[in-house]
Structure 1
Amino acid sequence: MKTFTRTAIAALLLTSTAASAQMVEGPDVNWSFSMWGNPRALSAGMEAIAEEVSEKTGGKFNIKIFYGGQLSGARENLDGLQLNAFEGAAICNFYHPGKNPAWMVFSLPFLPLGDPKVDQYVRSKLFEHPAIVADMERWNAMPYMSGLLPQYEILGKGDAPTSLDDWSGMRVRAGGGLGSAMEALGATKTTLPAGETSTAFQRGAVDAAAFPYTYAHVSFGIAEEADWFTANLAPGTSECGWIFNKTAYEALPSQYQELLMSLRGKGMDVEQAAYAEQDKKNLPVFKETMQEIVYSDSDLAKFREVAGQPVWDAWIAANADKFDAQGLFDAVWSYAEEAMNQ
């Protein structure tokens, strides 16, 4: 991943104009970010931004990402930000749905986020939505950059679910609305942090795992153990994004704030390039070592019928007294339409 990051920076970040190449003067600042797991496609964009920030400030503003839960567990990153234990972190919304109820909109099934350009536009706009911002403010945090997780697919052991009925009784690692979609097929959802899923999968505590396709299945060792994979289920995604400690951000000089904000788009470009690179590498291996499951159009239409609108309606009703859930849900579709019309 370090090799990819350097390549990505050369291609996407160092093609700047003469104006953007100018040095940004300011004080010495050192930030620590909390991340679980190892460096991977999800972290490539933030790594690229950290390198660019250091270069543009002559080494005065440095961001270091601590992996493997060195600073905090995956479920406790919001708590650490609230306590000012570090300046930034990655979070996955479904690791702690009660802490970020509005953010669970990202995990609803069958949202119009399949196209990478639409996905980046919609998530960037949602990161500025009042309900999404308010979720973070409760933890002295602020949204920064989406992780742009690709559509999920599912890898599993044992008998392959070649029809929708075969999911009944299966134990599937899937969170949020995606988990609710699997429950609509009769599966039992299990919500586990990514780092704990491999062990549960190896020990038979779960039968299958839903992860962003294909990179996360490889990053967390699921592909090494699986017998089959779904190729076109595309039930949805989630949001594992990057957030800042609000106190730390507001303490930065304005030129450092502007530098960080100016790099979000390029950071997301790096993420999407990393995902695409991993797919190119991983998919041939998947097809060679596992059974590929491709569902018929009629099966997919049935899946969307039982796990689309009913899950959406239930989520909106369950959150109506917490925030404008209907307005937030509608915003996803409105932003997607804006993106497709550009």
Structure 2
Amino acid sequence: MKTYLGGAAVAALAMGFATETLATEWNVSLWGKRRAFTEHVEKLAELVSEKTGGEFTMNISYGGLSSNRENLDGISIGAFEMAQFCAGYHPDKNPSITVLELPFLGVSTLEQEREISMAVYAHPAVAADLARWNATLLMPSPLPQYNLVGVGDTPSSLADFEGLSVRATGGIGAAMETVGAVPTSMSATEVRQAMDSGVIKSASFAPHAHMSFGTIENANWWTTNLNPGTVNCPVVVNTDALDSLSDAHRDALLGSVDEALDYYIEYYNNETMAAWGPALDERGIERVTFAPEEIAAFKAAAAEPAAQDWIAENSARGLPAQELYDMVTGMVAEGS
């Protein structure tokens, strides 16, 4: 038995299918709360929705989909389509991008951090590394140099870090070990409670995180110029989800990355950093600045050994570790 549809019915049915096909909804896994660190994701969602007339939307969740240390795992199984994570949370899962977390690389601006990160993300070996998790690197979350907030006696020299318990991940943790500190890796959301309970005496963060996660609320001191490095926290997408997008939606997503990063950097520089000094002053937090010779000695003790260890370890994994390291340090030297 055959059923024949009139032209109007066929058109209506086709229109229904077209509408269903065009609508795309992604879930995005972040953590904590909305803050400078997540503004590029928020902006990206806004831009994509605008460019697609609301047909491509992103539901951003702050901790409701996964813990921050499990975001990459969630991406790998398609539990959500986009997520942010920090390389230092699980370096064995993403060894290639930990080159960006080595101490004392000398990156001086958010713009430079962005350019170098995007170059590393585009390297075939890095793409293959993340492909093991069905993940495609979309954009970085550029962060300034980390410094320490702490409770208790204010350090007057690097020798005073001997035995100090500090929340520090990746290369920053390795650097702190060289001056006798005892680094502990924990997620950002755990740090305030750990400081309040005395589990740690200090925490290494960028300014936005010290404010967002409350480490300055009971702190006594802040280091102004340790600058041992930063962490690399990419935004990734599930590769299958990316591949399944229509051309128009994929173009809207990928074509909005630069604008989202521009907005992020402007926001961080103009909003976050403007609020940082007053936040310290309001709480009576002492600023600690170390002598240039101490910083030079710190760098000499931490940078080269960490780099050589990283190169040896990751060359053994089959990564072009020396090539990646040379690319990063070369771009820094060129002032990229």
1:317 maps to which of 297, 309, 312: 312
Q: Does the alignment pair 1:241 with 2:237? A: no
Given that residues 166 and 202 in structure 2 are in contact (C-alpha distance below 8 angstroms), is that contact kept between their aligned partners in structure 1? Answer: yes
Q: CA deviation at 1:112?
A: 2.8
Asked if residue 298 in structure 1 is aligned to residue 293 in structure 2, the reply is yes
Question: Which residue, out of 110, 113, 116, partners 2:107?
Answer: 113
What is the deviation of 1:242?
0.5
SS at match of 2:27: strand
The corresponding residue for 1:53 is: 48
Q: Determine the structure 1 residue equivalent to 2:151.
A: 157
Match of 1:268 in 2: 261
Report 1:197-208 matches (<5 A). 197-208=191-202
Output the CA distance in 2 between the equivalents of 1:243 and 1:96.
15
Detail structure 1 runs of 4+ shifted over 6 Å in the superposition: none
The equivalent position to 2:124 in structure 1, one of 112, 119, 130, is 130
Say if 1:116 and 1:272, in contact at 8 Å, map to a contact too. Answer: yes
With structure 1 as the length reference, what TM-score do the two structures score?
A: 0.89
1:176 shift after superposition: 0.7
Q: Is the 8 Å Cα contact of residues 92 and 241 (structure 1) preserved in structure 2?
A: yes
**Residue 92 in 1 paired to residue 80 in 2?**
no
* DSSP-derived class of the 1:54 partner: helix
What are the residue-to-residue correspondences of 1:22-41 with 2, within 5 Å? 27-41=22-36
**Please, which moves more after superposition, 326-335 or 58-67?**
326-335
Where structure 2 has 5 or more consecutive residues not aligned to the other structure, the ranges are: 1-20
In the aligned structure 1, how far is the partner of 2:296 from the partner of 2:313? Answer: 25
Length-normalised TM-score, structure 2: 0.90
User: Between Structure 1 and Structure 2, whose CA radius of gyration is higher?
Assistant: 2
Matched, 1:278 2:272: yes
Is the CA contact 2:146–2:227 (under 8 Å) kept in the aligned structure 1?
Answer: yes
What CA deviation, in whole Å up to 9, does each residue of 1:262-315 have, x standing for no partner?
211221122212222111112122145211001111111111110111111111
Aligned mates of 1:160, 1:310 — CA distance in 2: 28
Shift of 1:132: 2.2
Is 1:169–1:188's contact at 8 Å kept on the other side of the alignment?
yes
SS of corresponding position for 2:287: strand
- Deviation of the 1:160 alpha carbon: 1.5
Partner of 1:182: 176
Matching residue's letter, 1:310:
P
Alignment map for 1:12-23 (pairs within 5 Å) = none
Pair 1:167 & 2:177 matched: no
SS in 1 for 2:58: strand
Tell me the equivalent position of 1:20: none
Whole-angstrom distance in 2 between the partners of 1:132 and 1:286: 39
The share of aligned pairs that are identical, in percent, is 39
Equivalent positions of 1:187-266 (< 5 A) are 187-212=181-206, 214-266=207-259
| AA aligned opposite 1:208 | S
Q: Indicate yes or no: 2:329 matched with 1:333.
A: yes
SS of residue in 2 equivalent to 1:312: helix
**Which whole-Å CA distance do the structure 2 matches of 1:173 and 1:231 have between them?**
17
Q: Does 1:81 align with 2:75?
A: yes
Cα deviation per residue 1:66-110 (whole Å; 9 max; x = unaligned)?
Answer: 00x210111111111111110010011111111111121121111
Give the SS at the match of 2:316.
coil
1:338 Cα deviation after fit:
5.0
Moved more, 33-42 or 269-278: 269-278
Distance 1:137 1:162 in 2: 46
Q: Is the 8 A contact 2:52 2:252 kept in 1?
A: no
3-state DSSP class of the match of 1:308?
A: helix
Q: State whether residues 121 and 339 of structure 1, in contact with CA within 8 Å, keep that contact through their aligned partners in structure 2.
A: no
CA contact (8 A) 2:162 2:179 kept: yes
Kindly provide the amino acid, as one letter, of the partner of residue 315 in structure 2: A
